[in-house]
Structure 1
Amino acid sequence: MSQAKSGRPASVFAFEKRGWSGPLDTAVFQGNWLNAVDAKGRMSIPAPFRDVVQQRAGDRRVVLMPHRGDWDCLEGQTTTHVSRINEAANERFAPDDVSVEEDMARLRAFSLSVQVQYEETGRIVLPEDLREFAEIEGEVLLVGLGAHFQIWNPDLFLEQTGDERLKKFIRRKLEKARAK
Protein backbone atom coordinates (compact mmCIF):
# COMPACT_ATOMS: atom_id res chain seq x y z
CA MET A 1 0.00 0.00 0.00
CA SER A 2 1.31 3.43 -0.93
CA GLN A 3 2.14 5.86 1.83
CA ALA A 4 1.18 9.50 1.85
CA LYS A 5 3.79 12.13 2.80
CA SER A 6 2.51 11.90 6.38
CA GLY A 7 3.48 8.22 6.53
CA ARG A 8 -0.16 7.13 6.90
CA PRO A 9 -1.75 4.91 4.27
CA ALA A 10 -3.49 6.95 1.58
CA SER A 11 -7.15 6.31 0.87
CA VAL A 12 -9.57 7.47 -1.77
CA PHE A 13 -10.50 11.07 -1.00
CA ALA A 14 -8.55 11.08 2.25
CA PHE A 15 -6.58 13.92 0.70
CA GLU A 16 -9.47 16.34 0.99
CA LYS A 17 -8.02 19.17 3.00
CA ARG A 18 -9.86 20.26 6.11
CA GLY A 19 -9.76 23.57 7.90
CA TRP A 20 -9.62 25.82 4.84
CA SER A 21 -10.16 29.45 5.66
CA GLY A 22 -11.29 32.38 3.62
CA PRO A 23 -14.13 32.66 1.12
CA LEU A 24 -14.63 28.91 1.03
CA ASP A 25 -15.82 28.96 4.64
CA THR A 26 -17.93 32.11 4.60
CA ALA A 27 -20.70 30.89 2.30
CA VAL A 28 -22.23 27.45 2.76
CA PHE A 29 -24.71 25.35 0.83
CA GLN A 30 -27.69 24.89 3.11
CA GLY A 31 -31.37 24.07 2.82
CA ASN A 32 -33.28 21.77 0.50
CA TRP A 33 -35.40 22.22 -2.62
CA LEU A 34 -37.56 20.12 -4.89
CA ASN A 35 -37.15 21.13 -8.52
CA ALA A 36 -38.48 19.80 -11.80
CA VAL A 37 -36.26 18.14 -14.40
CA ASP A 38 -37.46 17.96 -17.99
CA ALA A 39 -36.82 15.15 -20.49
CA LYS A 40 -33.64 16.87 -21.69
CA GLY A 41 -32.25 17.05 -18.16
CA ARG A 42 -32.82 20.76 -17.67
CA MET A 43 -33.25 21.89 -14.09
CA SER A 44 -32.57 24.96 -11.98
CA ILE A 45 -29.99 25.46 -9.29
CA PRO A 46 -31.73 27.27 -6.37
CA ALA A 47 -30.87 30.97 -6.01
CA PRO A 48 -29.24 30.52 -2.57
CA PHE A 49 -26.93 27.86 -4.05
CA ARG A 50 -26.08 30.18 -6.95
CA ASP A 51 -25.19 32.87 -4.42
CA VAL A 52 -22.77 30.47 -2.71
CA VAL A 53 -21.17 29.53 -6.05
CA GLN A 54 -20.74 33.21 -6.89
CA GLN A 55 -19.22 34.04 -3.49
CA ARG A 56 -16.87 31.06 -3.48
CA ALA A 57 -15.80 30.92 -7.12
CA GLY A 58 -16.89 34.20 -8.70
CA ASP A 59 -18.51 32.51 -11.68
CA ARG A 60 -21.52 30.43 -12.77
CA ARG A 61 -19.82 27.06 -13.01
CA VAL A 62 -20.42 24.01 -10.85
CA VAL A 63 -18.71 20.65 -10.98
CA LEU A 64 -21.05 17.66 -10.84
CA MET A 65 -19.95 14.11 -10.06
CA PRO A 66 -21.37 10.87 -8.73
CA HIS A 67 -21.39 10.68 -4.93
CA ARG A 68 -17.94 9.73 -3.66
CA GLY A 69 -19.38 7.13 -1.31
CA ASP A 70 -22.15 4.60 -1.68
CA TRP A 71 -25.19 6.78 -2.33
CA ASP A 72 -26.84 7.01 -5.74
CA CYS A 73 -26.86 10.79 -5.96
CA LEU A 74 -24.76 13.55 -7.47
CA GLU A 75 -22.48 15.99 -5.71
CA GLY A 76 -22.20 19.60 -6.78
CA GLN A 77 -19.12 21.63 -5.96
CA THR A 78 -17.58 24.92 -6.96
CA THR A 79 -14.62 24.96 -9.31
CA THR A 80 -12.62 26.54 -6.50
CA HIS A 81 -13.36 23.60 -4.21
CA VAL A 82 -12.33 21.10 -6.88
CA SER A 83 -9.07 23.02 -7.43
CA ARG A 84 -8.40 22.84 -3.72
CA ILE A 85 -9.05 19.09 -3.73
CA ASN A 86 -6.38 18.83 -6.43
CA GLU A 87 -3.96 21.01 -4.44
CA ALA A 88 -4.56 18.89 -1.34
CA ALA A 89 -3.83 15.74 -3.35
CA ASN A 90 -0.60 17.29 -4.58
CA GLU A 91 0.38 18.01 -0.97
CA ARG A 92 -0.63 14.58 0.31
CA PHE A 93 1.13 12.40 -2.25
CA ALA A 94 4.87 12.49 -2.84
CA PRO A 95 5.61 14.10 -6.23
CA ASP A 96 7.79 11.21 -7.44
CA ASP A 97 5.56 8.46 -6.05
CA VAL A 98 3.71 6.50 -8.73
CA SER A 99 0.81 5.03 -6.84
CA VAL A 100 -2.23 3.02 -7.85
CA GLU A 101 -3.91 4.43 -4.79
CA GLU A 102 -3.25 8.01 -5.87
CA ASP A 103 -4.45 7.20 -9.37
CA MET A 104 -7.64 5.70 -7.94
CA ALA A 105 -8.22 8.76 -5.77
CA ARG A 106 -7.71 11.10 -8.70
CA LEU A 107 -9.80 8.94 -11.05
CA ARG A 108 -12.65 9.05 -8.59
CA ALA A 109 -12.31 12.79 -8.05
CA PHE A 110 -11.83 13.96 -11.60
CA SER A 111 -12.64 11.41 -14.31
CA LEU A 112 -16.35 11.16 -13.51
CA SER A 113 -16.85 14.86 -12.91
CA VAL A 114 -18.23 17.34 -15.39
CA GLN A 115 -18.26 21.11 -15.27
CA VAL A 116 -21.51 22.85 -16.18
CA GLN A 117 -22.34 26.52 -16.40
CA TYR A 118 -25.74 27.72 -15.33
CA GLU A 119 -27.70 30.45 -17.05
CA GLU A 120 -28.62 33.68 -15.30
CA THR A 121 -31.88 32.02 -14.22
CA GLY A 122 -29.93 29.11 -12.72
CA ARG A 123 -30.82 26.56 -15.36
CA ILE A 124 -28.35 23.78 -16.14
CA VAL A 125 -28.49 20.59 -18.15
CA LEU A 126 -27.67 17.45 -16.20
CA PRO A 127 -25.60 15.17 -18.45
CA GLU A 128 -27.44 12.00 -19.40
CA ASP A 129 -24.87 9.63 -17.87
CA LEU A 130 -25.10 11.41 -14.51
CA ARG A 131 -28.92 11.39 -14.68
CA GLU A 132 -28.84 7.67 -15.35
CA PHE A 133 -26.39 7.04 -12.49
CA ALA A 134 -28.60 8.90 -10.00
CA GLU A 135 -31.87 7.64 -11.56
CA ILE A 136 -33.10 11.20 -12.02
CA GLU A 137 -36.36 11.69 -13.91
CA GLY A 138 -39.01 14.34 -13.47
CA GLU A 139 -37.90 15.86 -10.18
CA VAL A 140 -34.83 16.31 -8.02
CA LEU A 141 -34.15 17.03 -4.40
CA LEU A 142 -31.23 19.39 -3.85
CA VAL A 143 -29.74 19.38 -0.36
CA GLY A 144 -27.01 21.59 1.03
CA LEU A 145 -24.14 20.04 2.95
CA GLY A 146 -22.01 23.07 3.76
CA ALA A 147 -19.00 22.80 1.43
CA HIS A 148 -21.01 21.12 -1.35
CA PHE A 149 -24.53 20.05 -2.26
CA GLN A 150 -26.22 16.88 -3.45
CA ILE A 151 -28.76 16.25 -6.18
CA TRP A 152 -31.05 13.27 -5.53
CA ASN A 153 -33.90 11.35 -6.99
CA PRO A 154 -36.21 12.11 -4.02
CA ASP A 155 -37.34 8.50 -3.68
CA LEU A 156 -33.74 7.27 -3.54
CA PHE A 157 -33.02 9.88 -0.88
CA LEU A 158 -35.78 8.38 1.26
CA GLU A 159 -34.48 4.84 0.63
CA GLN A 160 -30.78 5.45 1.17
CA THR A 161 -30.45 8.02 3.93
CA GLY A 162 -30.91 6.82 7.48
CA ASP A 163 -32.10 9.80 9.51
CA GLU A 164 -35.80 9.23 10.20
CA ARG A 165 -36.48 12.82 11.24
CA LEU A 166 -34.96 14.17 8.04
CA LYS A 167 -36.80 11.60 5.94
CA LYS A 168 -40.08 12.57 7.62
CA PHE A 169 -39.51 16.20 6.70
CA ILE A 170 -38.64 15.38 3.08
CA ARG A 171 -41.53 12.90 2.78
CA ARG A 172 -43.99 15.65 3.80
CA LYS A 173 -42.42 18.07 1.36
CA LEU A 174 -42.76 15.51 -1.43
CA GLU A 175 -46.38 14.74 -0.57
CA LYS A 176 -47.29 18.43 -0.73
CA ALA A 177 -45.46 18.97 -4.02
CA ARG A 178 -46.92 15.86 -5.64
CA ALA A 179 -50.46 16.74 -4.51
CA LYS A 180 -50.40 19.95 -6.58
Structure 2
Amino acid sequence: MNIKYAEELVRCELIKKKFDDYAVMLEVTEESENCFAVYYQTKKYIKTNNTDFMSIGNGPVIVNKSNGELYFTGSGRPTEHLIESFEKYGHPEIVENQNELQISYDNSKEVSYNNQLKVLKKLTGKGFLEVKSIYEYLKNGNNVIVKNDLPDELKESLISNGFIVSYPLVEY
Protein backbone atom coordinates (compact mmCIF):
# COMPACT_ATOMS: atom_id res chain seq x y z
CA MET A 1 0.00 0.00 0.00
CA ASN A 2 1.26 3.49 -0.78
CA ILE A 3 0.42 6.92 0.62
CA LYS A 4 -1.96 7.83 -2.21
CA TYR A 5 -3.98 4.65 -1.72
CA ALA A 6 -4.17 5.23 2.07
CA GLU A 7 -5.38 8.80 1.50
CA GLU A 8 -7.98 7.52 -0.97
CA LEU A 9 -9.26 4.98 1.57
CA VAL A 10 -9.75 7.78 4.10
CA ARG A 11 -11.40 10.04 1.50
CA CYS A 12 -13.87 7.27 0.63
CA GLU A 13 -14.60 6.66 4.32
CA LEU A 14 -15.28 10.38 4.87
CA ILE A 15 -17.84 10.22 2.04
CA LYS A 16 -19.34 7.00 3.44
CA LYS A 17 -19.67 8.60 6.90
CA LYS A 18 -21.28 11.65 5.25
CA PHE A 19 -18.52 13.96 6.45
CA ASP A 20 -19.32 16.18 3.46
CA ASP A 21 -17.56 19.25 4.88
CA TYR A 22 -14.26 17.39 5.34
CA ALA A 23 -11.37 16.47 3.07
CA VAL A 24 -8.04 14.69 3.36
CA MET A 25 -5.11 17.03 3.97
CA LEU A 26 -2.78 15.98 1.18
CA GLU A 27 0.98 16.33 1.61
CA VAL A 28 0.95 15.90 5.42
CA THR A 29 0.35 12.14 5.66
CA GLU A 30 2.93 10.42 7.86
CA GLU A 31 4.28 6.95 7.16
CA SER A 32 5.72 4.35 9.51
CA GLU A 33 6.63 0.71 9.02
CA ASN A 34 3.09 -0.70 9.37
CA CYS A 35 0.73 2.26 9.05
CA PHE A 36 -0.01 5.71 7.69
CA ALA A 37 -1.36 8.66 9.69
CA VAL A 38 -3.74 10.47 7.33
CA TYR A 39 -5.05 13.85 8.44
CA TYR A 40 -8.38 15.37 7.51
CA GLN A 41 -9.92 18.76 8.19
CA THR A 42 -12.80 20.95 7.05
CA LYS A 43 -12.68 21.88 3.39
CA LYS A 44 -13.03 25.54 4.35
CA TYR A 45 -9.94 25.36 6.57
CA ILE A 46 -7.93 23.54 3.89
CA LYS A 47 -8.93 26.19 1.33
CA THR A 48 -8.36 29.29 3.51
CA ASN A 49 -5.90 28.10 6.19
CA ASN A 50 -8.03 30.23 8.55
CA THR A 51 -8.14 28.57 11.99
CA ASP A 52 -11.68 29.93 12.52
CA PHE A 53 -12.79 27.17 10.13
CA MET A 54 -10.70 24.43 11.72
CA SER A 55 -12.42 21.45 13.28
CA ILE A 56 -11.11 20.71 16.76
CA GLY A 57 -10.83 17.26 18.32
CA ASN A 58 -10.23 15.04 15.32
CA GLY A 59 -6.88 13.32 15.14
CA PRO A 60 -5.38 11.49 12.20
CA VAL A 61 -6.87 8.36 10.71
CA ILE A 62 -4.42 5.50 11.20
CA VAL A 63 -4.42 3.22 8.15
CA ASN A 64 -3.14 -0.33 8.55
CA LYS A 65 -0.79 -0.97 5.62
CA SER A 66 -1.40 -4.72 5.56
CA ASN A 67 -5.20 -4.73 5.36
CA GLY A 68 -6.41 -1.14 4.88
CA GLU A 69 -8.25 -1.08 8.20
CA LEU A 70 -8.98 2.49 9.35
CA TYR A 71 -8.81 3.83 12.91
CA PHE A 72 -10.34 7.28 13.40
CA THR A 73 -8.61 8.86 16.38
CA GLY A 74 -9.06 11.96 18.47
CA SER A 75 -6.63 14.71 19.30
CA GLY A 76 -6.10 13.55 22.90
CA ARG A 77 -2.75 11.91 22.16
CA PRO A 78 0.10 13.08 19.93
CA THR A 79 0.32 11.35 16.55
CA GLU A 80 3.70 9.85 17.41
CA HIS A 81 2.10 8.06 20.39
CA LEU A 82 -0.72 6.73 18.20
CA ILE A 83 1.79 5.42 15.66
CA GLU A 84 3.98 3.95 18.41
CA SER A 85 0.96 2.13 19.90
CA PHE A 86 -0.02 0.82 16.48
CA GLU A 87 3.49 -0.41 15.75
CA LYS A 88 3.78 -2.10 19.14
CA TYR A 89 0.23 -3.45 19.68
CA GLY A 90 -1.55 -3.32 16.29
CA HIS A 91 -3.99 -0.62 17.44
CA PRO A 92 -3.38 3.13 17.82
CA GLU A 93 -5.30 3.55 21.04
CA ILE A 94 -3.87 0.70 23.10
CA VAL A 95 -1.60 1.67 25.98
CA GLU A 96 0.00 -0.07 28.94
CA ASN A 97 -1.83 0.39 32.23
CA GLN A 98 1.09 1.06 34.55
CA ASN A 99 -1.16 1.14 37.64
CA GLU A 100 -1.55 -2.62 37.42
CA LEU A 101 0.55 -5.69 36.68
CA GLN A 102 -0.49 -8.73 34.70
CA ILE A 103 0.82 -12.07 35.93
CA SER A 104 0.85 -14.99 33.50
CA TYR A 105 2.50 -18.40 33.28
CA ASP A 106 5.73 -18.81 31.29
CA ASN A 107 5.63 -22.23 29.59
CA SER A 108 9.20 -21.86 28.35
CA LYS A 109 10.76 -22.21 31.82
CA GLU A 110 11.12 -25.40 33.81
CA VAL A 111 11.03 -24.53 37.49
CA SER A 112 10.06 -26.18 40.73
CA TYR A 113 6.31 -26.58 41.22
CA ASN A 114 6.78 -26.07 44.99
CA ASN A 115 8.69 -22.83 44.41
CA GLN A 116 5.95 -21.61 42.10
CA LEU A 117 3.33 -22.27 44.76
CA LYS A 118 5.46 -20.51 47.40
CA VAL A 119 5.83 -17.36 45.32
CA LEU A 120 2.10 -17.34 44.52
CA LYS A 121 1.40 -17.65 48.26
CA LYS A 122 3.62 -14.60 48.86
CA LEU A 123 1.77 -12.75 46.11
CA THR A 124 -1.75 -13.56 47.26
CA GLY A 125 -1.50 -14.36 50.96
CA LYS A 126 -3.97 -17.20 50.32
CA GLY A 127 -4.00 -20.75 51.66
CA PHE A 128 -2.58 -23.78 49.86
CA LEU A 129 -5.81 -24.86 48.09
CA GLU A 130 -6.52 -21.36 46.77
CA VAL A 131 -2.89 -20.92 45.68
CA LYS A 132 -3.02 -24.26 43.85
CA SER A 133 -6.23 -23.15 42.13
CA ILE A 134 -4.60 -19.85 41.07
CA TYR A 135 -1.59 -21.80 39.76
CA GLU A 136 -3.84 -24.02 37.61
CA TYR A 137 -5.73 -20.96 36.38
CA LEU A 138 -2.46 -19.33 35.27
CA LYS A 139 -1.07 -22.55 33.80
CA ASN A 140 -4.22 -22.85 31.64
CA GLY A 141 -3.30 -19.60 29.86
CA ASN A 142 -5.20 -17.11 31.98
CA ASN A 143 -3.84 -13.93 33.55
CA VAL A 144 -4.18 -12.43 37.00
CA ILE A 145 -4.21 -8.64 37.39
CA VAL A 146 -2.80 -7.11 40.58
CA LYS A 147 -2.05 -3.55 41.71
CA ASN A 148 1.38 -2.31 40.70
CA ASP A 149 2.61 -1.97 44.25
CA LEU A 150 4.58 -5.22 44.50
CA PRO A 151 8.09 -5.02 45.93
CA ASP A 152 10.79 -5.49 43.28
CA GLU A 153 11.99 -8.59 45.13
CA LEU A 154 8.57 -10.25 44.69
CA LYS A 155 8.42 -9.30 41.00
CA GLU A 156 11.88 -10.81 40.47
CA SER A 157 10.87 -13.93 42.39
CA LEU A 158 7.78 -14.35 40.20
CA ILE A 159 9.89 -14.02 37.03
CA SER A 160 12.62 -16.40 38.22
CA ASN A 161 9.96 -18.95 39.17
CA GLY A 162 8.32 -19.18 35.78
CA PHE A 163 5.86 -16.31 35.64
CA ILE A 164 5.66 -13.33 33.30
CA VAL A 165 5.10 -9.94 34.91
CA SER A 166 3.95 -7.22 32.50
CA TYR A 167 1.66 -4.22 32.25
CA PRO A 168 -1.83 -5.06 31.01
CA LEU A 169 -2.96 -3.36 27.81
CA VAL A 170 -6.02 -1.13 27.82
CA GLU A 171 -7.77 0.99 25.23
CA TYR A 172 -6.98 4.68 25.67
Determine if the TM-score, normalized by the shorter chain, exceeds 0.5: no
Higher alpha-carbon Rg:
2
Determine which structure has greater relative contact order: mean sequence separation of CA pairs < 8 Å that are 6+ residues apart, divided by chain length.
1
Normalised to the residue count of structure 1, the TM-score between the two structures is: 0.26
